[in-house]
Structure 1
């Protein structure tokens, strides 16, 4: 068990405390599923992954990714019951490996969360702008749409977290309902050549380029790890966090695998990659099948829900990123003002405003330089988030093993050693695939790809330096990095 450490000096509780006892496991699950943006992934990310990866074998790759993440979740949720902090990954790494490593993890986590938000604003802006142009003959620049979205997301982030969760609940249920309706219609008509299971055969796994395919699968699960970030606001964190983590992983993973299998059946396993490649825009693959098996009305609904899915993801990521900033400010890795909460809503309003400003600056910069909101802003920056997540999960798996070596807290060795170890090995393998294939993922030049990847060690070094600076000026505060706040 961790040795007792003195409490670090803090601002008054009414200025720093989050609104505890607010979120049930169901609400946390909704927040996490929304961050995964399931419809936007099925409609936008996976068609590209199937085209560049292994086509009809993608549903099986999703299952493999899910199994690896469930192994990771075994130790992750065990430690989550022992570490109650809005710091998430960085709190666990601080407690397991040390404050300096935790500081590095904190900055890498912020980098990943922010770059994903930047990219999603570009994607949302372009999709809405194109829809307004084609449906209503209105010409609205993508960046203006993005700015409007930033303002509205900031409003949700400023208010109570359960208010955001209720809004997201409506979005998530609608996303699942419309896609599953299309799935059922495809199965009901027997697809292109009847219902078959070739997607789950070993030959399908090795077809094409599975290395690229598995990376897209892991990118699709980004956001599941946010469950621990809400532990301070959970009604019963020791129960809610494990339930929410497993529920989110299983719901999202099964939804992805089942829906992709249905899409493969709708096209025919042997024609999936050919069909997607032949489209002017790969993201129209879902709509092509909707036109074929359901008709124009459902296609229009799916197009609308695609926009809603991206927007819901932005609300969820805004909330989780604000809590990272808040936790880092409270523990003095960043200015302490970020560790304040709103006197009425108990939301991390200062941290929320900071990331709102950052999103606004990045969107306007890309607009000024006339960069493409999808090919540049979204493709370049969202893939940085994938690599950040992989690196953080590897470090967290190691932290779990070290943390429980001191005190097993009644957990089995299988759960707190062998499962995290197996997950760490698997995640290292996936990370080793991501780095050399980063240029393919982003579509950027080789030089730019390496420059984007260089952001990770830069962020890690900045966080490590911030932690060591804190250690030199306040050893007590450094010693309490990642410690419980509830």
Structure 2
């Protein structure tokens, strides 16, 4: 075997720009425009969708204050797992790690359904190649698995190229949409608070928060960034600001070019075709075709970003022996978490094959169901992390202000808890009309089950394997007992 395995991630390879690309690529702007925004308009009929993205960005920005402050003190590829462990308690941290694995695996696997469907449709329409959607999903799965074992900065470069192209395509749509308003005048209905805070506002937020999934993933790479004290914080704030404004403007452009009174019908009938049809009509078919290609490269970029995130969570848990120790291995040549990457690939193929055998729809079932599960999990993680920040700085005050260490994270805990309740109560809005009614509780219940199992496993480790329990969620190099400066240093698994 040409590669030996070690238990250390690559150090000092990612700067703010690299990390920004990982984070925003996970959010996938063109995917959000063509899939998320059109779905929200179609399901809710709300004219206030553009404003909803700004409101959500504000909530997430408040969350990012405490999140960024804690990132300067805790560097662990387990991110939320480590934060919750140090701020709330180790059993809660293990519960958080199980939620994270469930949520990020769900969105990553769900995206295979979306990718396979749109790629199959494109190949059939443009080249008369009629191949089942799952064949293209499997091809993407293989390529993602290979890329996941390469150097992290190479992955960032791939994401950067794909992200820049999709941002350009989305910006072109925004310019075209705002320059060609329905009825001859640009409507400001999208910015009216009365249009947002009306019937269906819960469904708007439930669908909208899914669009931001991935922005919070910066801390997963905290062991690999060039400046642990600043890189994660800066990339996270940039991601929130960029995605919030970009999504809001893009949703506004869609409502303007179609007309606020017609956007629900258009989105229901055409879906992503609202974007590509507008480009074909207002520019030309070549630009529209390029945008379609960038649409599925956008999904591919999100697949790669989430794959890397899951691999690092598995790595952190294996390194600390919360999960089997082999998961903590990395490639000595590329320093990538190869064991975590391969494990994620295995999980993905098992679920994907299960949906194929069951004959489920790749978008209405595989993508939509698992996206909803992920949204619930990520909001729960953010709420728990905000509470953890308050607990962490209550006993470990650094240079952070009261706003950073107490007020902002406390406020974020309240806002995110309210958002979590909204998402769960309105979970049926994420499901198709033909979906069995019991799934509106069963699917989000997967997140609750993961949390409970994780907490119980943490409690079992406390009583049966105390040496492992003491190491849960530490920053790399931190003594086993934070209060014991003479304690043994953490030694990675080899």
In structure 1, the residue matched to 2:480 is none
TM-superposition CA deviations, 1:360-410 (whole Å, max 9, x none): 111111111111111111111111000001111111111000110002212
How far residue 436 of structure 1 moved from its aligned partner, in angstroms, is 2.0
How far residue 141 of structure 1 moved from its aligned partner, in angstroms, is 1.0
Identify which range, 63-72 or 207-216, moves more after superposition.
207-216
The number of residue pairs the alignment matches comes to 472
Instruction: Report the Cα distance in structure 1 between the residues aligned to 2:183 and 2:229, rounded to whole angstroms.
Output: 47
**Bigger fraction of residues in helix:** 1
Instruction: Report the Cα distance in structure 1 between the residues aligned to 2:456 and 2:219, rounded to whole angstroms.
Output: 25
Is 1:478 paired with 2:461? no
In structure 1, the residue matched to 2:75 is 84
Is 1:392 paired with 2:381? yes
Instruction: Report the Cα distance in structure 2 between the residues aligned to 1:59 and 1:282, rounded to whole angstroms.
Output: 17
How far residue 482 of structure 1 moved from its aligned partner, in angstroms, is 1.4
Instruction: Report the Cα distance in structure 2 between the residues aligned to 1:361 and 1:476, rounded to whole angstroms.
Output: 33
How far residue 191 of structure 1 moved from its aligned partner, in angstroms, is 4.9
Identify which range, 338-347 or 264-273, moves more after superposition.
264-273
1:56-205 alignment to 2 at 5 Å? 56-205=47-196
Identify which range, 172-181 or 405-414, moves more after superposition.
405-414
TM-superposition CA deviations, 1:402-453 (whole Å, max 9, x none): 1100022121111221111111111111111111221221233221222222
Instruction: Report the Cα distance in structure 1 between the residues aligned to 2:448 and 2:48, rounded to whole angstroms.
Output: 34
TM-superposition CA deviations, 1:175-199 (whole Å, max 9, x none): 0111111222233345543123221
CA contact (8 A) 1:332 1:470 kept: no
Instruction: Report the Cα distance in structure 1 between the residues aligned to 2:24 and 2:463, rounded to whole angstroms.
Output: 40
Instruction: Report the Cα distance in structure 2 between the residues aligned to 1:196 and 1:461, rounded to whole angstroms.
Output: 48
Is 1:454 paired with 2:427? no
Instruction: Report the Cα distance in structure 2 between the residues aligned to 1:315 and 1:396, rounded to whole angstroms.
Output: 25
In structure 1, the residue matched to 2:354 is 365
1:368-387 alignment to 2 at 5 Å? 368-387=357-376
How far residue 100 of structure 1 moved from its aligned partner, in angstroms, is 0.2
In structure 1, the residue matched to 2:249 is 258
Instruction: Report the Cα distance in structure 1 between the residues aligned to 2:254 and 2:440, rounded to whole angstroms.
Output: 32
Instruction: Report the Cα distance in structure 2 between the residues aligned to 1:140 and 1:190, rounded to whole angstroms.
Output: 38
Instruction: Report the Cα distance in structure 1 between the residues aligned to 2:181 and 2:122, rounded to whole angstroms.
Output: 31
Instruction: Report the Cα distance in structure 2 between the residues aligned to 1:14 and 1:122, rounded to whole angstroms.
Output: 33
RMSD (CA atoms): 1.5
Identify which range, 457-466 or 219-228, moves more after superposition.
457-466
Taking structure 1 as the reference length, what is the TM-score of the superposition? 0.94
TM-superposition CA deviations, 1:259-312 (whole Å, max 9, x none): 1111111112222123223x1x42222123222322212211111111000000
CA contact (8 A) 1:45 1:283 kept: no
Instruction: Report the Cα distance in structure 2 between the residues aligned to 1:342 and 1:317, rounded to whole angstroms.
Output: 19
CA contact (8 A) 1:107 1:463 kept: yes
Instruction: Report the Cα distance in structure 2 between the residues aligned to 1:174 and 1:207, rounded to whole angstroms.
Output: 36
1:409-424 alignment to 2 at 5 Å? 409-424=398-413
Taking structure 2 as the reference length, what is the TM-score of the superposition? 0.93
1:40-55 alignment to 2 at 5 Å? 40-55=31-46
Query: Given the alignment, which residue of 7, 14, 24 partners 1:23?
Result: 14
Instruction: Report the Cα distance in structure 1 between the residues aligned to 2:177 and 2:158, rounded to whole angstroms.
Output: 30
Q: Secondary structure at the match of 1:446?
A: coil
CA contact (8 A) 2:88 2:391 kept: yes
TM-superposition CA deviations, 1:80-100 (whole Å, max 9, x none): 111111011111000000100
Query: Given the alignment, which residue of 313, 321, 326 partners 1:332?
Result: 321
Is 1:299 paired with 2:288? yes
CA contact (8 A) 1:193 1:265 kept: no
In structure 1, the residue matched to 2:488 is none
TM-superposition CA deviations, 1:123-178 (whole Å, max 9, x none): 11111111111111111111111111111001110111101110111100000111
Instruction: Report the Cα distance in structure 2 between the residues aligned to 1:245 and 1:123, rounded to whole angstroms.
Output: 26
Instruction: Report the Cα distance in structure 2 between the residues aligned to 1:261 and 1:311, rounded to whole angstroms.
Output: 25
Query: Given the alignment, which residue of 328, 345, 354 partners 1:356?
Result: 345
CA contact (8 A) 1:32 1:316 kept: yes
How far residue 15 of structure 1 moved from its aligned partner, in angstroms, is 1.4
CA contact (8 A) 1:175 1:309 kept: yes
Structure 1 regions of 5+ residues with no counterpart?
1-12
